[in-house]
Amino acid sequence: MADVTLNGVSKSFGEETALDNVTMTVPDGSFVVLLGPTGAGKTTTLRMVSGLDKPDTGTVMIEGRDMAGLTPAQRDVAMVFQQYSLYPHLTVRQNLEFPLKSPILKTPQAEIDRKVGEVAEVLQISHKLDNKSTALSGGEMQRVSIGRALVRNPSVYLMDEPLSSLDAKLRSDLRIELKSIQANSGATLLYVTHDQIEAMTMATHVGVLDNGKLVQFGTPREIYENPVSVYAASRLGQPRINVLPADVFGGAPDGAASIGLRPEHIVQGEGEESMVTRVEHLGDQTRLHLAFKNHDLITVTDAHTTLNEGDVVKIRPNNPYYFDANGARVA
Amino acid sequence: MAQIRIEHVRKEFGAFTAVQSSTFTIEDGEFFMLLGPSGCGKTTTLRMMAGLELPTSGEIYIDGEEVGQKPASQRDIAFVFQMFALYPHMNVGKNISYPLLSQGMPKAQVKKKVGEIAEILGITDILSKPVGGLSGGDRQRVALGRAIVRDPKAFFMDEPLGALDAEFREHMSDELRALHDRMNATTVYVTHDQLEAMQMGDKIVVMNHGVVEQFGVPQDIYDWPATKFVAQFIGSPPMNFLDFNGMVGTGSTEIRLNDVAVTVPEAREGTNGGIIFGIRPEHVRLDDSAPYRGRVIATEYLGTTQIVTLETANGAVKARLSSADRVNVGDQTGLHFDARTITLFNAETGKALKSAANMEVLSNG
């Protein structure tokens, strides 16, 4: 296993700047998730590391070795894509064996059998090993494609939204599986997603990308509890952080242009009056939509609240964030 | 606007029965969700209400009138599809006015009406633009405008937000719901997304394999599911299920889970044999002194809360706890279950056993 370092990596496609001076270290044995909306540069970063694309400037190092000029095959990385592409004419076993049967590797058959058996066990597909790959469900196919990456035991795994085409139940099962595979094997994993739940639940570190720039890098808890900007704060948290003009509650620090309130930063029952505009019972909690001095706010409350539309609730901020006019955190 | 009543509606496609026998009522002005996995019969049910499919048997009443065998054109309803098709050669205003002009409404009146609708949807400034260059949201608004402009008795929507990305979907679902609240039009909405159903719906019908599993207000369905399927389909993570063999007699308030006594709501019906103990993740607490034991196998950070997965003698259990609680993989601990919230299911039929707690909700359908 290995660490990955990007140093001042930039990449443009024509006029479009895809990556802008990205410097980042993926520590050995970590699970790093790159998070951002479409076009933020997540996939481009992954392609730089894999060797599918070359940086215009900057360097990519894996295990301290400069990767410039090396092909994807020479980099000893394994990729898993959103669209699982299995060999349709082969069985699950043959699909899993395929990377090991490469003439360069010359892996003995006994070794291949052992590895395939192990990986199939971990991914719970042992009973399907002799099925045609086309006779599998979507979730099983994605497991096989993850399995095909695992058998190779590469220095780094690169995954591009591998779970996003699966249904909710399977996604949540595979989240736990992937995380425990990574934790138990000590593999280094660089993972791209726009799903904040995946980022929060699996990552040891999250890199937040905004228009090709890496704006924050830290543990999910650091990013959730101590965001550097409005943008970073908006990436994590459901419902999303409320952003209002800094002075609506009074007491804003100098230079603050806006106040950021996560739903749990709004204390109910004290402070100034707001009106309930909508109540959404989600089961485990209830979302309250509030109107406060011509602004809309969302907060959460007890699942069995008796509040109704039109009711008045007093609110006050508790440990809010303040941001300047550019969105950078000031307090 | 109208009440819609479905009675014993059944639909067969050859040998395949898409809808077994559905009965429920949608009240005037309700935002009503048809929820279920793909293939459960929800879209077929909607299409029968709209007149796009005719039921094999059963009755459909719109505003008191039986319309089961009438074609869509005689039902005065509007349908919004997932793939909203606009006329590409017409501008926004023409797209919206088209249904009125083809009905023969005078031009001046059409203009006034389109103006009103555009105002409601916030698209007044794009009325003269071609639809080609519009954003996904604006296209969706135009499609809605075309549906609304006729003042139909009811709106039928088949996963209208399904093709949008998560961020935008949330925005549009707020907008749709707000639009409904302004117009108070009876709306029937098909989705497979339980959160969307909980969030937007006044009432929900949960379907599976062509059968209505439960029908009611979202919180009731979440708290007191009628079947194991509903308990699993609604909630994220879903309800925990612990399998055990035993006996529950009418009036009993305790069960034995792996030889540990656990208090449950007073039973109103009895069963003997395979039973499933159901509890929601937020009603499980970790308490070292509790006699029912488990081992932590995973923790998932979610901001204010975390989901902790434990292995127990009766299966895996997920608990929703505050992120401030320190929990580590490998910890051995006791699990405390909030007795007021427990549902027991008959393992064979999957039906919830009636108890003092769920009696009222289950008797409503």
Task: Assess contact for B139 and B86: CB atoms under 8 A.
Answer: yes
pLDDT tens column, B285-326 = 999 999 999 999 999 999 999 999 999 999 999 999 999 999
More confident residue, A181 or A246: A246
Determine whether the interchain pair B198/A37 forms a contact, defined as Cβ–Cβ distance below 8 Å: no
Phi, psi of A174 (to 5 degrees): -70, -30
Closest residue on chain B to A179 (Cα): B298
Q: What is the mean pLDDT of residues A49-55?
A: 94
Determine whether the interchain pair B195/A280 forms a contact, defined as Cβ–Cβ distance below 8 Å: no
**pLDDT in the model for residue A263:** 95
Which of A17-31, A315-329, B89-103 is the least confident region? B89-103
Helix, coil or strand: residue B265: coil
Determine whether the interchain pair A278/B281 forms a contact, defined as Cβ–Cβ distance below 8 Å: no
Using a CB-CB cut-off of 8 Å, the residues of chain B touching A287 are 199
Determine whether the interchain pair B219/A194 forms a contact, defined as Cβ–Cβ distance below 8 Å: no
Determine whether the interchain pair A283/B323 forms a contact, defined as Cβ–Cβ distance below 8 Å: no
Using a CB-CB cut-off of 8 Å, the residues of chain A touching B238 are 169
Rg of the Cα atoms in chain B:
24
Q: What is the mean pLDDT of residues A100-125?
A: 87
Does the pLDDT of residue A309 top 70, yes or no?
yes
Closest residue on chain A to B198 (Cα): A282
Determine whether the interchain pair B302/A197 forms a contact, defined as Cβ–Cβ distance below 8 Å: yes
Q: Taking a contact as any Cβ pair under 8 Å apart, which residues of chain A between 133 and 162 contact chain B? A: none
Using a CB-CB cut-off of 8 Å, the residues of chain A touching B282 are 284, 303
Using a CB-CB cut-off of 8 Å, the residues of chain A touching B320 are 284
Does the pLDDT of residue A1 top 70, yes or no?
no
**pLDDT in the model for residue A82:** 82
In angstroms, what separates the C-alpha of B235 from chain A's closest C-alpha? 7
Q: Taking the C-alpha atoms of B200, B204, B206 and B212 in order, what is their torsion angle to the nearest 10 degrees?
A: -150
Provide the pLDDT confidence category of residue A176 given band limits of 50, 70 and 90. confident
Phi, psi of B330 (to 5 degrees): 100, -20
Q: Which residue among A180, A195, A237 places its CB closest to the CB of B303?
A: A237
Q: Which of B31, B175, B206, B236 to mutate to test the interface with A (most CBs of A within 10 A)?
A: B236
Instruction: Record the tokens describing residue B285, joined without a space.
Output: 């607490």
In angstroms, what separates the C-alpha of B94 from chain A's closest C-alpha? 33
Residue B89's Cβ-count burial label (10 Å; 0-12, 13-18, 19+) is exposed
Q: What is the C-alpha separation between B279 and B283, in angstroms, rounded?
A: 7
More confident residue, A173 or A114: A114
Amino acid in position B172: M
Contact B300/A at CB under 8 A:
yes
Q: Which residue among B178, B217, B298 places its CB closest to the CB of A176?
A: B298
Does the pLDDT of residue A31 top 70, yes or no?
yes
Provide the pLDDT confidence category of residue A186 given band limits of 50, 70 and 90. confident
Q: What is the mean pLDDT of residues A34-38?
A: 90
More confident residue, B131 or A104: B131
Map tokens 């790159």 to a residue.
A34
Q: Taking a contact as any Cβ pair under 8 Å apart, which residues of chain A between 163 and 182 contact chain B? A: 168-169, 172, 175-176, 179-180
**pLDDT in the model for residue B172:** 82
Q: What is the C-alpha separation between B136 and B115, in angstroms, rounded?
A: 21
Q: What is the mean pLDDT of residues A149-154?
A: 87
Distance, first Cα to last Cα, chain A: 39
Q: What is the mean pLDDT of residues A241-259?
A: 94
**pLDDT in the model for residue A53:** 93
Helix/strand/coil (H/E/C) assignment for every residue in A164-193: CCCCHHHHHHHHHHHHHHHHHHCCEEEEEE
Tell me the ipTM for this assembly: 0.82
Contact B39/A at CB under 8 A:
no
Determine whether the interchain pair B320/A284 forms a contact, defined as Cβ–Cβ distance below 8 Å: yes
Determine whether the interchain pair A284/B235 forms a contact, defined as Cβ–Cβ distance below 8 Å: yes
pLDDT tens column, A195-249 = 899 999 999 999 999 999 999 999 999 999 999 999 999 999 988 999 999 999 9
Does the pLDDT of residue B125 top 70, yes or no?
yes
Using a CB-CB cut-off of 8 Å, the residues of chain B touching A262 are 303-304
Q: Which residue among A38, A220, A238 places its CB closest to the CB of B301?
A: A220
Q: Which of B168, B234, B304 to mutate to test the interface with A (most CBs of A within 10 A)?
A: B304
Determine whether the interchain pair B198/A180 forms a contact, defined as Cβ–Cβ distance below 8 Å: no
Beta strand pairing call for A321-323 and B16-26: unpaired
**pLDDT in the model for residue B83:** 67
Q: DSSP letter at B251?
A: T
Contact B95/A at CB under 8 A:
no
Q: Taking the C-alpha atoms of A170, A172, A174 and A179 in order, what is their torsion angle to the nearest 10 degrees?
A: 180
Beta bridge partners of B85: none
Does the pLDDT of residue A319 top 70, yes or no?
yes
Closest residue on chain A to B324 (Cα): A221
Using a CB-CB cut-off of 8 Å, the residues of chain A touching B237 are 172
Contact A31/B at CB under 8 A:
no
pLDDT tens column, B15-74 = 999 999 999 999 999 999 999 988 899 999 999 999 999 999 999 999 999 999 999 989
Residue A179's Cβ-count burial label (10 Å; 0-12, 13-18, 19+) is buried
**pLDDT in the model for residue A289:** 95
Q: Which of A161, A281, A298, A306 to mutate to test the interface with B (most CBs of B within 10 A)?
A: A281
Does the pLDDT of residue A105 top 80, yes or no?
no
More confident residue, B181 or A325: A325
Determine whether the interchain pair A282/B199 forms a contact, defined as Cβ–Cβ distance below 8 Å: yes
Determine whether the interchain pair A281/B223 forms a contact, defined as Cβ–Cβ distance below 8 Å: no
**pLDDT in the model for residue B365:** 58
Does the pLDDT of residue B163 top 70, yes or no?
no
Q: Taking a contact as any Cβ pair under 8 Å apart, which residues of chain B between 128 and 187 contact chain A? A: 165-167, 177-178, 181
**pLDDT in the model for residue B1:** 61
In angstroms, what separates the C-alpha of A221 from chain B's closest C-alpha? 7
Does the pLDDT of residue B364 top 80, yes or no?
no
Contact A36/B at CB under 8 A:
no
Task: Assess contact for A159 and A191: CB atoms under 8 A.
Answer: yes
Q: What is the C-alpha separation between A289 and B115, in angstroms, rounded?
A: 29
Does the pLDDT of residue A139 top 90, yes or no?
no
Q: What is the mean pLDDT of residues B236-247?
A: 94
Using a CB-CB cut-off of 8 Å, the residues of chain A touching B316 are none
